[in-house]
C-alpha cells in the first residue's frame, strides 16, 4: 500500500475483533493480543456478538451473502473506538473491502466510517501504542511468514519485523522467496488443492532450510496451512516439526512476566 495511514493517538479503549479462525482454532493468540494491548494501559472490549469478517463468502463471489455478515460485525462495534484485528487478512477485508461490499448501498457511509477504525494488531502495537518489549525468553531462531494480505493490502510487513527485532534473544532468519504466497488463499486451498499443496510444500521447505526453531506469523490461515504441512510431512530441523505460533502469542509468551 502506498497510501499513508494516519494513526490515532493512544485511546482509552479499543474493540478487539478476534476473527473466526482464532476463535475456534487459536484462541490463545486472540487472548495474547488482548493482553498485550491491556498491558499498555488500554481497556480492551471483546463484543460477544462478533462472528466472522465475511471474507470467505466475499472471495467466493457471494456478495449478498457477505453483506448480512458484515452488517452483523458493524452492529457489534458501535462506538468510535479503534477496532484491532490480529490478522492482516481479516483486517484487510474490514478496512479495504467493506467499502467495496457496500459501494452504492444505503449503508455506505456507515461502513466507511467503520473501516477507517480498523487496525491490524502489529501496526496498532507499533504506531498507536508505541509498544516497547523486553525479551525474557531463551535464545531462539525464528522465521517470520507475513501473510500476503498483511504485506500487500495492509502494508504491515515492516511492523511484524520491527516487533520481533525488539526481542533481544530472538534471531530472525530469512527464508528464500519470503514474499511468496504460502498457497492458503482461503477457499483456493479447497478448490485447487493440488496447486495449494505444491505451494505450501515449497514454503515449508524454504522455512525449514533456514534452520529456524520456530515459525511466527500474523495470520492463522497461513499458520494452519504451513505448520499443518510441516506436521504432516515431518519437516523441520532434526526431524522435529517446527513449532508455529501467532505473533501475538509469541510476543506475549516472551514478555509477559515483566508486569505480572
Partner 1 sequence: MQQKAEFDQRVQEALNNPQLRSNFRIAMDGLMEKRSNAFPDKSFMEELRVLGSKIRANALAKQPELLEQLEANCTRNGIQVHWAETIEQANRIVLEIMERHNATRMIKGKSMVSEEMEMNHFLEAQGKSCIESDLGEYIIQLDHETPSHIIAPAIHKSKQEIAKLFKAKHPDIPYSEDIETMTRSARQVLRSKFYEAEIGLSGVNFAVAETGTLCLVENEGNGRMCTTVPPVHIAVTGIEKVLEKLSDVPPLLKLLTRSASGQHISTYFNMISSPRKPGERDGPKEVHLVLLDNQRSKIYEDDELFDSLRCIRCGACMNHCPVYTRIGGHAYGSLIPGPIGSCIEPQKFGLDKFGVLPTASTLCGACGEVCPVKIPLPKLLHRLRYEQVRDDHTGATNGQGSQRSGKEAMIWKLWSWAHANPAVYRSGTRLASLFRGAIPNKIGPWTRVRTAPKIAPKSLHQLAREEGFDHE
- Nearest distance in Å: CB 127, partner 1: 21
- Nearest distance in Å: CB 109, partner 1: 21
Give 183's Cβ-side CA count (13 Å radius).
20
Question: Three-state SS for 44?
Answer: strand
Nearest of 41, 37, 47, 51 to residue 15 by alpha carbon: 47
- Nearest distance in Å: CB 83, partner 1: 14
Residues 251, 36: contact at Cβ < 8 Å? yes
Q: Which is nearer to partner 1, 166 or 255 (CB)?
A: 255
Q: Which is nearer to partner 1, 170 or 235 (CB)?
A: 235
Instruction: Give CA 112 to chain center in angstroms.
Output: 21
Q: What are phi and psi of 8, to 5 degrees?
A: -75, 170
Q: Which is nearer to partner 1, 167 or 223 (CB)?
A: 223
- Nearest distance in Å: CB 31, partner 1: 5
- Nearest distance in Å: CB 2, partner 1: 7
Q: Which is nearer to partner 1, 138 or 177 (CB)?
A: 177
- Nearest distance in Å: CB 40, partner 1: 15
Nearest of 235, 238, 237 to residue 225 by alpha carbon: 235
Q: Which is nearer to partner 1, 187 or 214 (CB)?
A: 187
Q: Which is nearer to partner 1, 52 or 131 (CB)?
A: 52
What is the helix, strand, coil percentage profile of the chain, to 5? 50, 10, 35
Cα 111 to Cα 70, 118, 220, 232, distances in angstroms: 9, 11, 25, 41
- 149: CB partners within 8 A, 6+ apart: 88, 89, 91, 92, 93, 219
Amino acid at each position: 500500500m502506498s497510501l499513508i495511514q494516519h494513526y490515532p493517538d493512544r485511546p482509552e479503549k479499543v474493540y478487539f475483533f478476534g476473527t473466526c479462525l482464532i476463535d475456534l482454532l487459536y484462541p490463545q493468540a486472540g487472548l495474547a493480543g488482548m493482553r498485550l494491548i491491556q498491558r499498555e494501559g488500554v481497556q480492551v472490549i471483546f463484543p460477544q456478538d462478533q462472528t466472522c469478517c465475511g471474507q470467505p463468502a466475499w472471495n467466493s463471489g457471494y456478495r449478498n451473502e457477505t453483506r448480512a455478515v458484515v452488517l452483523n460485525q458493524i452492529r457489534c462495534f458501535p462506538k468510535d473506538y479503534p477496532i484491532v484485528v490480529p490478522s492482516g487478512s481479516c483486517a484487510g477485508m474490514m478496512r479495504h473491502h467493506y467499502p467495496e461490499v457496500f459501494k452504492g448501498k444505503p449503508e455506505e457511509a456507515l461502513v466507511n466510517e467503520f473501516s477507517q477504525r480498523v487496525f491490524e494488531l502489529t501496526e496498532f502495537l507499533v504506531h498507536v501504542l508505541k509498544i516497547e518489549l523486553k525479551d525474557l525468553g531463551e535464545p531462539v531462531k525464528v522465521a517470520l511468514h507475513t501473510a500476503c494480505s498483511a504485506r500487500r493490502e495492509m502494508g504491515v510487513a515492516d511492523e511484524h519485523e520491527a516487533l520481533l527485532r525488539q526481542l533481544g534473544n530472538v534471531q530472525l532468519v530469512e527464508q528464500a522467496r519470503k514474499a511468496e504466497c504460502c498457497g492458503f488463499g482461503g477457499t483456493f486451498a479447497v478448490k485447487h488443492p493440488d496447486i495449494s499443496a505444491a505451494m505450501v510444500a515449497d514454503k515449508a521447505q524454504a522455512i525449514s532450510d533456514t534452520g529456524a526453531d520456530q515459525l511466527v506469523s500474523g495470520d492463522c490461515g497461513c499458520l494452519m496451512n504451513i505448520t499443518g504441512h510441516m506436521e504432516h510431512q515431518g519437516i523441520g530441523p532434526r526431524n522435529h516439526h517446527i513449532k508455529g505460533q501467532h505473533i501475538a502469542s509469541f510476543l506475549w509468551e516472551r514478555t509477559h512476566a515483566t508486569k505480572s
